[in-house]
Amino acid sequence: MTEKIMVVASRNRKKAVEMMELLKDLGWRVLSMDEAGADIEIEEDGLSFEENSYKKAFQVMKATGKTAIADDSGLEVYALGGKPGVFSARFSGEGATDESNNQKLLEMMKEVPEDERGARFVCAATVVFPDETYFTVTGECEGQILFEPRGTGGFGYDPLFFVPDLGKTFAQLDAETKNSISHRAKAFFRVKQLLSCAGGNKA
């Protein structure tokens, strides 16, 4: 039987590790871009999470000839009209870091009262096969934005994203818990369902 190989299309090391962890029980050999020899940079210029995830997965599939999976995810804050949205990773401009993005968000939210700080994380995950067929799924996780960061785990906006049902931010959760309730976990659960059905015979 031919080994099924999937390449994780992400240059964000922490995100790639999280994606590979979510795919570990898939039954495919999951590789990073470096392991697959995909030495490319991809401009995320889509207007939606779905567009960006498809573009990344398609280009990595083309570069490697292997099935590729990409996600594009971000934070949508209701009081900010859905910002930062698809611009989550570069919210604070050129050379943005997690810290600078969080600081900008806190500054924009400083006058927003506690009961109006609702937000959600959104993830669109796309799998593109070598024959250029593909599918995209989404996952969401509801929460609220704190007035100051809590926790040291995770990445991105995790220290500010509070999950009321758990009483913790994403940055305070252990990896196992986060990977069971997050937007990415929900999207990747659907990915695995689809791969075990219609897409399961592709490699």
Side-chain half-sphere exposure of 150, counting CA atoms within 13 A: 13
Can you give the pLDDT at residue 189?
A: 93
Can you give the pLDDT at residue 9?
A: 94
Contact 68, 9 (CB under 8 A): yes
pLDDT tens for the 203 residues of the chain, in order: 578 999 999 988 888 888 999 898 888 999 999 999 988 989 888 899 999 999 999 999 999 999 999 999 999 999 999 999 999 999 999 899 999 999 999 999 999 999 999 999 999 999 999 999 999 999 999 999 999 999 999 899 999 999 999 999 999 999 899 989 999 999 999 999 999 875 444 65
Q: Is 72 a catalytic residue?
A: yes
Task: Tell the residue number behind the tokens 């995320």, with chain if given.
Answer: 44
Nearest to 182 by CA among 200, 197, 165: 165
CA-based radius of gyration for the chain: 17
Q: Which of 25, 72, 115, 131 is catalytic?
A: 72
Can you give the pLDDT at residue 202?
A: 60
Can you give the pLDDT at residue 26?
A: 87
Contact 33, 57 (CB under 8 A): no
Can you give the pLDDT at residue 2?
A: 77
Helix (H, G, I), strand (E, B) or coil at 136: strand
Can you give the pLDDT at residue 200?
A: 47
Can you give the pLDDT at residue 1?
A: 58
β-pair type (161-163, 168-169) = antiparallel
Can you give the pLDDT at residue 24?
A: 87
Task: Write down the pTM of the prediction.
Answer: 0.89
